[in-house]
Amino acid sequence: MPSAPIYSLRTQDVYKALETAPEGLSSAEAQSRQSLYGENRLSEQHKIPIWEKLLMHFMHPQAGILLVASILALIGGDFVLALVTLT
């Protein structure tokens, strides 16, 4: 592989670096590369459940401060302030 970034190479140099041609790979060559490198697929990423995403929002320190402030506002009888700090 050339040391220059692939996007800066001339077209013919890209074909040479990737060991291919403008016509593409033959079926035999494609099969050979597939057995050598594996299928051209993206791996499945771990999905985070929605409840965990929601919980992560409450784990932030600023969210904890606002929660404590709204509880103190409720104890103090200021329901509007408690509602505002929760939203």
Residue appearing with tokens 């929002």: 57
Each residue's pLDDT tens digit, 27-73: 999 999 999 999 988 888 889 999 998 888 878 888 889 989 999 99
Structure tokens at 21: 């041609």
In this prediction, residue 44 carries a pLDDT of: 86
pLDDT tops 70 at residue 2: no
In this prediction, residue 6 carries a pLDDT of: 87
CB 77 within 8 A of CB 71: no
